[in-house]
């Protein structure tokens, strides 16, 4: 009796060439390798050309923007120069007014400087006259005061105050005057710095007593007619 043993089944992949995709279309390049290399070089060259073109476009845009900005700056500069020219022309038109204004300012400053040491002597001497003792009359009067361009000589004695003017008085009285009381009254006047009694003598010929007094006053006696405060008050009026 003969027994037949079936041959083992072969797998689907057995005996098939390795690396071949079953069911895919077959492809084969018949071109020589030189053609492939030329195509690859052409693609690389095209990409480089595109990159160069992009760089040129960006550079052109940057140059155009810079040129446009420079034109804008030049326009602004031209406008500023034109405005400056107009301002100079306007100053020329109002030059006379400016000169007149400067002249008025200089005159005002000169007036203020000239009157800076001004004293209303009529008013102040009337106050001095009011201190004269009863029965006495002022027979001689001498005034020496400072000026805007020179400092007034000051006393060297330590007990004498700063002064801007000196009033020398000579009074005559039929009776012996109370000189101390007169000095006390004088010390109450505004701007009083000090007062020094001179000689007190009796004139037998005229029968009167003669008294000399030297009085000094400080800067409180200035009238300040053209000071800033006085100007503001005058403007307010």
Residues 161 and 183 reside in one and the same domain? yes
28 vs 19, more confident: 28
Q: Where are the alpha helices (DSSP H) in the chain?
A: 33-93, 95-114, 121-129, 179-186, 228-236
The confidence band for 200, taking pLDDT boundaries of 50, 70 and 90, is very high
Mean pLDDT of 31-55: 83
From 115, 141, 161, the end of a domain falls on 115
Q: Looking at the 3D structure of the chain, how many domains does it have?
A: 2
Q: Is residue 180 part of a domain?
A: yes
CATH of the domain at 200: 3.30.70.2830
DSSP code of residue 150: B
Q: Is residue 24 part of a domain?
A: no
Residues 80-108: tens digit of each pLDDT: 888 888 887 777 667 777 777 778 777 77
Contact criterion met (CB below 8 Å) for 144 and 138? no
Q: Is residue 76 part of a domain?
A: yes
Contact criterion met (CB below 8 Å) for 139 and 170? yes
Mean pLDDT of 188-201: 93
pLDDT reported for residue 58: 87
From 87, 115, 143, the end of a domain falls on 115
Q: Is the pLDDT of residue 32 over 70?
A: yes
pLDDT reported for residue 161: 77
Residues 166 and 109 reside in one and the same domain? no
Domain that holds residue 134: 121-217
Q: Is residue 107 part of a domain?
A: yes
Cα 106 → chain centroid: 22
pLDDT reported for residue 29: 62
Residues 212 and 133 reside in one and the same domain? yes
Cα 72 → chain centroid: 33
Residues 95 and 138 reside in one and the same domain? no
Residues 135 and 110 reside in one and the same domain? no
Cα 63 → chain centroid: 44
The residues pairing with 142 across neighbouring beta strands, listed in sequence order, are 168
Q: Write out the E strands in 67-164.
A: 137-145
Residues 108 and 136 reside in one and the same domain? no
* Most trustworthy range by pLDDT among 62-71, 138-147, 167-176: 167-176
pLDDT reported for residue 236: 45
Residues 58-81: tens digit of each pLDDT: 888 888 888 888 888 888 888 888
Q: Is residue 10 part of a domain?
A: no
Residues 174 and 190 reside in one and the same domain? yes
What's the predicted TM-score (pTM) here? 0.52
Mean pLDDT of 225-232: 59
The confidence band for 26, taking pLDDT boundaries of 50, 70 and 90, is low
The confidence band for 2, taking pLDDT boundaries of 50, 70 and 90, is very low
DSSP code of residue 9: P
């Amino acid at each position: 009796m003969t027994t037949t043993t079936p041959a083992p089944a072969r797998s689907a992949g057995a005996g098939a060439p390795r690396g071949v995709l079953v069911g895919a279309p077959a492809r084969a390049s018949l071109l020589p390798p030189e053609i492939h290399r030329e195509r690859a070089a052409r693609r690389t060259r095209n990409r480089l050309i595109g990159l160069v073109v992009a760089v040129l476009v960006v550079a052109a845009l940057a140059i155009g923007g810079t040129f446009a900005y420079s034109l804008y700056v030049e326009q602004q500069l031209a406008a500023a120069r034109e405005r400056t020219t107009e301002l100079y022309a306007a100053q020329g038109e109002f030059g006379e007014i400016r000169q007149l204004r400067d002249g008025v300012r200089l005159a005002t400053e000169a007036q203020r400087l000239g009157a800076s040491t001004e004293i209303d002597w009529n008013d102040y001497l009337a106050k001095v006259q009011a201190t004269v003792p009863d029965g006495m009359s002022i027979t001689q009067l001498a005034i020496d005061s400072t000026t805007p361009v020179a400092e007034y000589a000051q006393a060297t004695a330590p007990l004498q105050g700063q002064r801007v003017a000196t009033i020398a008085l000579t009074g005559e009285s039929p009776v012996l005057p109370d000189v101390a009381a007169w000095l006390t009254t004088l010390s109450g006047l505004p701007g009083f710095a000090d007062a020094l009694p001179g000689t007190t003598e009796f004139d037998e010929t005229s029968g009167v007593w003669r008294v000399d007094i030297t009085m000094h006053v400080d800067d409180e006696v200035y009238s300040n007619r053209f000071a800033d405060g006085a100007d503001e008050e005058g403007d307010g009026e």
